[in-house]
Structure formats: C-alpha cells, structure tokens
Chains A and B, each alone.
Chain A
Amino acid sequence: MDEVLLSVSDFVAVTNQTLEYAYPMVSVVGEVAEYRVSQGKWVGFKLKDSGAVINCFAGIYQMRTPLEDGMKVIVVAQPRLNAKGYFNLNVKAVKPVGEGSIKKGFELLKAKLDAEGLFAAERKRVLPRVPQRVAVITSTESAAYADFCKIVNERWGGLAIDVAHTQVQGMPAPDQIIRAIEYFNGLDTLPEVLVIIRGGGSAEDLATFNDEPLTRAIASSRIPTLVGVGHEIDHTLADMVADVRAATPTHAAETLVPDRGEIIRRAQAQAQSAGNLLVQAIDHYSQQTRQNLEAAFRRTQERLDATVDRLDALRGVVAQLNPEHVLRRGYALVRGDIRPGKVIEVEMYKKIITAEVQNAREK
C-alpha cells in the first residue's frame, strides 16, 4: 500500500468523512457529567460509563428535556473529530433512560414550567359543553383511538372530527405532534377543541409527552386542549399544561361530549316535570274554584236561613193578629146596628148568637 501523506487538516477531514460513512448517526447510552450551558445557546457535557468518557456538544434548542449530572441518557449524535483534535459527539437528540433519570428529567422540567406559570389554574380554558368541530391528534392505529371513537359515537352525534395521525412514542413523536398542533392552529376556522390521546405504556413510551417543546406547543395552542395520555396513574407534563386533563383516552371521550342517553332522559324528565306542574296548577285552580263555590253556597244558605227565620217571625206576628185567636181567648165579634131595638149578631169562638139591642150608652 502506498504511503499517503496528508496534512493535519486533510487527515481530520478524511477521518470525519470516514466516520460519516461508517457512523452517520450513533445512539450512545451513558451517564451525564460536567453538564454546562454556555452563553445560553450551547450545551456541553461528558457522557461516561465505568470504562470510558466522551465529550458531547449540542445547541440548546436540541435539548428537549433538562439534564443534570448523574442522569442516564441516550444520546443520538454524529461522531466528529474537531479541528483542535478533540473527538466529540455532536448531539442531535437526548432522552433520559431508566426510571430514575426519566423521573429526574420530568421533575426538572416540571419545576421549570411551573416557575413560568404554565400549570396555573387561571390559564385553563373551559371546553364548550357540546362542541361541533373537534381536532384529534393520535396514532390512528392505536387501541386508544379505537376506544375514543367508540365512546364518542356511543355518547354523542353530529360532531365533525378531524384526526391527525402521528406517532405517539419514540424520538420522532414529539415533533410530529407539534406539527399537527401547528396544522390545526393554522386553519382558517379553528376547531373548538384539540384532543391529544395516547394509551398506556411504559415510562419511556410516555416520555414523548414530557417533551419540552411539545409541552410548550400544547400550552400555546389557540385551540383549547384536552389531553388524555396513559392510565389514570400516569401524569405527564402534556396533560398538566392542557386546559383539561383526562385520565385516559376513554375519559377524554367522556369529557369531550355529554351522554346522549342522559340528555334524552333529562329532556323527558323536564317535559314530565312540566306535565306535573300543569296538573298541580289544575289541582290548585280546581281547589280554589271548589272553595269559592262552597263559600258562595254557604253564604246563600245563610241568607236563605235568615229569610226563613224572618218569615217565621212574621208568620207568628200574623198569626197573633188572626181574629180566631181573639175569639178563642173568650172575646166576641159584634156585627150589626147597635141602636136599641135593632138585631145584632154576636160571633163567639164556637157560637154565633143573634140578639136584640136593649140599650147602648157611651162609656
């Protein structure tokens, strides 16, 4: 083999070319050490294990979750030899691995977003009670999506639902979901609710929803957001910044629309209550009318009784004036000319006497 004489610069360039050909992108797992941020733009740290250490560099915008020394991460990077002779990994993406590191990354980002007020209750918008137009972001191949559709169709009708199919786990997922959020937010007529759903999974699967840019995209959505990720016990930053958090995709469907069966029952109960109120009103008016009639009858009866009493009294008086009563008491009624020698008729109670007047004088 002929000896090739290279300049240092050429050697570095050839090395990089070879690296680029052999390892265009590598994923390396290790522990973060000496993590630092320069000028608010550049991130540098060492990635190490028990046997080796390597320098890593990245732009701050490529850090989708805060890091701290001691965290175990996977670095997706291009290996490069720089002009000063240092071998580096030019980082394209970093994600925590292992329960402890994922939790640590979650807590660090949570504290950061909390300090910015992204979880504040006053930021939360109320979802329309019955939306007409809804946007959904999910994997259309997932069971969670099938469950969501089933529950929404069972509960309500008349919705226009536009679905954006994206990955919901893995490195590309956050950016896909962000693009879908931007797509819906860029429509001329905005949907009334933006639903983001994903079924249960491991902490690493759900890590997509703890991605900082994605969390910020949800927080800044013009469309009110409803996020249902994982199971009830899973909490992600995405659902913490959402306007409404649903515990699961099924719960998201239940939160999104009312239950038509319940609405129908309520409408029937309302019509029934109107009927009951009508019957009550009729009863009330009937009772009032009956009471009025009874009062009128009582008053008429009283007047009639009074008139009868008065009539009886008058009848008594009239009876007292009957001449029969006078005759019965021993008096007599005299008829005829009472001059002496004339004949008169004397009527007594039982008898009528004809007599001649012998004398008539003044008393």
Chain B
Amino acid sequence: MPERNKTVQQKLTELSELVEWFQGTDFKLEAAVNKFQSAEKLAAEIEKDLTELKNEISVVKKRFDSQE
C-alpha cells in the first residue's frame, strides 16, 4: 500500500536522495540492495499516487457582478 502520510513531493525528494546515495561516498554494498528496493518501491508508489489522485474543482458561490 502506498504511504499516504507522505506527499508525492516528499517521495520524489526521497527518491532523489536515494539515487544520490548510490553516487556518494557513503555507499556501502551491504546496504545497497535494500536501498535499491526502497527506490523501486518509491517509484511504484509515486506512479500509483499520481495515477489515482484527482483534482477537486469547486466554483466559488460568491457573485462578483456587484459590490455585494
């Protein structure tokens, strides 16, 4: 199940940080497989979130054709 408590933007940031970790000096082979699985999971969640999300469009009831 996608993590609903995180926004898509947060997940995108997390994914970018994971990829940077692979290119950084903190890289350790022992941790890399788990990190890669996390990256794959995040990418899947982002796709699911973005596909499912709908916009809520509502027209303001207030009328603007007079000073009221």
Residues of A within 8 A of B (CB): 129-130, 140, 149, 152-153, 156-167, 172, 176-177, 179-180, 183, 260, 263-264, 267-268, 270-271, 273-275, 277-278, 281-282, 285
Closest residue of B by beta carbon distance from A161: B57
Contacts of A130 in B (CB 8 A): 8-9
Would A273 and B19 count as touching, CB distance under 8 A?
Answer: yes
Contacts of B58 in A (CB 8 A): 160-163
Residues of B within 8 A of A (CB): 8-9, 12, 15-16, 18-19, 22-23, 27, 29, 32-33, 35-36, 39-40, 42-43, 46-47, 50-60, 62, 64-65, 67
11 contacts between A and B (CB under 8 A): A129-B9, A159-B55, A161-B56, A161-B57, A162-B58, A180-B64, A263-B8, A273-B22, A274-B35, A275-B36, A285-B29
Contacts of A129 in B (CB 8 A): 9
What are the 8 A-B residue pairs with the smallest beta carbon separation, nearest first? A157-B53, A271-B43, A277-B22, A158-B53, A274-B39, A260-B50, A267-B43, A176-B64
Would A274 and B18 count as touching, CB distance under 8 A?
Answer: yes
Contacts of B40 in A (CB 8 A): 271, 274-275
Would A270 and B64 count as touching, CB distance under 8 A?
Answer: no
Contacts of A180 in B (CB 8 A): 60, 64
Contacts of A260 in B (CB 8 A): 50-51
Task: Give B53 Cβ to nearest chain A Cβ, in Å.
Answer: 3
Report the separation of the CA atoms of residues A264 and B52 in the bound assembly, to the nearest whole angstrom.
12
Contacts of A156 in B (CB 8 A): 50, 53, 55
Would A270 and B19 count as touching, CB distance under 8 A?
Answer: yes
Task: Give B7 Cβ to nearest chain A Cβ, in Å.
Answer: 8
Task: Give B27 Cβ to nearest chain A Cβ, in Å.
Answer: 7
Task: Give A265 Cβ to nearest chain B Cβ, in Å.
Answer: 9
Closest residue of B by beta carbon distance from A140: B59
Would A162 and B60 count as touching, CB distance under 8 A?
Answer: yes
Contacts of A152 in B (CB 8 A): 55
Contacts of A271 in B (CB 8 A): 15, 36, 39-40, 42-43
Would B56 and A264 count as touching, CB distance under 8 A?
Answer: no
10 further A-B contacts with Cβ under 8 Å, apart from A158-B54, A275-B40, are: A153-B55, A157-B50, A162-B60, A264-B47, A267-B15, A271-B39, A271-B40, A271-B43, A278-B22, A281-B32
Would A183 and B56 count as touching, CB distance under 8 A?
Answer: no
Would A278 and B33 count as touching, CB distance under 8 A?
Answer: yes
Would A278 and B32 count as touching, CB distance under 8 A?
Answer: yes
Contacts of A158 in B (CB 8 A): 8, 53-55
Contacts of B42 in A (CB 8 A): 267, 271
Would B36 and A274 count as touching, CB distance under 8 A?
Answer: yes
Report the separation of the CA atoms of residues A285 and B19 in the bound assembly, to the nearest whole angstrom.
19
Would B27 and A281 count as touching, CB distance under 8 A?
Answer: yes
Closest residue of A by beta carbon distance from B56: A160
Task: Give B47 Cβ to nearest chain A Cβ, in Å.
Answer: 5
The answer to whether A157 and B19 touch (CB under 8 A), given A162-B60, A275-B40, is: no
Contacts of A282 in B (CB 8 A): 29
Task: Give A171 Cβ to nearest chain B Cβ, in Å.
Answer: 12
Would A267 and B47 count as touching, CB distance under 8 A?
Answer: yes
Task: Give A178 Cβ to nearest chain B Cβ, in Å.
Answer: 9
Task: Give B19 Cβ to nearest chain A Cβ, in Å.
Answer: 5
Would B16 and A270 count as touching, CB distance under 8 A?
Answer: yes
Report the separation of the CA atoms of residues A5 and B51 in the bound assembly, to the nearest whole angstrom.
83
Closest residue of B by beta carbon distance from A129: B9
Would A176 and B65 count as touching, CB distance under 8 A?
Answer: yes
Would A157 and B46 count as touching, CB distance under 8 A?
Answer: no
Contacts of A176 in B (CB 8 A): 64-65
The answer to whether A183 and B64 touch (CB under 8 A), given A161-B56, A260-B50, is: yes
Closest residue of A by beta carbon distance from B23: A277
The answer to whether A157 and B54 touch (CB under 8 A), given A179-B64, A183-B64, is: yes
Task: Give B38 Cβ to nearest chain A Cβ, in Å.
Answer: 9
Report the separation of the CA atoms of residues A161 and B57 in the bound assembly, to the nearest whole angstrom.
5
